[in-house]
Each structure stands twice: as C-alpha cells, then as structure tokens.
A = this chain, B = another copy of it.
Amino acid sequence: MVKELETDLLAKGIRPTAMRLLVLDYLLKQSAAVSLNDLETYFLKADRITLYRTLKKFEDKGIVHKIEDGTSSVKYALCPESCYGMAYCDLHLHFYCTQCQNTFCLPKTRIPELQLPENYQPEEISLTVKGKCSNCS
C-alpha cells in the first residue's frame, strides 16, 4: 500500500518522504477538497510550513489542483487520473456547500462552452457553485 503511494510520488518526480506519504494517503481518503488548516488539524504533530510546502509541491507536480471557492482559505484536491497539465482540471467545476462548508470537485460536470465577446481570449476557466450538496439538501 505504502509502496504504491511511493511509486505514485516517484512517478511524478517527488521524493516519497514520510510526511508526503501521509499527506497523500490523507488526500486519497477525502471526498471534499482540503485546506491547509484541515491538514494542520489532522496532523497535529506536523509543522504547518511543511504541510504548506507539501501542498505546493504536489500542486507543482500536478498531483493536486488549487481551488478558490470564495472562502478565505484556498483548498486543494487530487487531480483526476486523466488530468494532464491542468488542461483537464480547468474544465470541471467546484461546488461549495453552504451548510457543511465542504468543497467538492465535480469532475464529471464539464463547464459548458462559453460565448465571450469578440477578441476576448480565454486561457483558464474557474467555475464555483455555492449551494447545498447532496448530503445536505
């Protein structure tokens, strides 16, 4: 099991340190996006900065993607397997539940085609929906 995580990290060019394996394992078990604070709360013994840099590294290497859901804190979620170079990640939306305050990736909900005004050239799209998630509605 841990072996698998190790090879996952190595495959992305990330040294599989103890902390990183723990964080990756944790991320794999979450259904909602994770903030730095969540990590801090879960890994009480770990250093905040290390967790911060772990997320940064994961983002850099394309293991997780950043989500700005309109709350004060940035969140991260594992990229879907098929996510290469963020191109795919840009195409799904994020759902922030106003009740349980979780943020969910909805990779199966693609962002529909947009008709921008003339000469506006899109490079990246971010779509966040607020409301009640399936557990809370």
Contact B120 A132 (CB under 8 A): yes
Q: How many copies does the complex hold?
A: 2
Could you give, for residues 41-69 of chain A, a 1 whenever the CB lies within 8 Å of some chain B CB and a 0 otherwise? 00000000000000000000000000010
Could you name 24 residue pairs across A and B whose Cβ atoms are closer than 8 Å?
Answer: A68-B70, A95-B120, A98-B123, A106-B116, A106-B120, A108-B117, A109-B115, A109-B116, A112-B113, A114-B129, A116-B129, A117-B134, A118-B134, A120-B132, A120-B133, A120-B134, A121-B132, A123-B131, A123-B132, A125-B128, A125-B129, A125-B130, A126-B129, A127-B128
User: Could you list which residues of chain A lie within 8 angstroms of chain B, going by C-beta atoms?
Assistant: 68, 70, 93, 95, 98, 106, 108-109, 112-134, 137
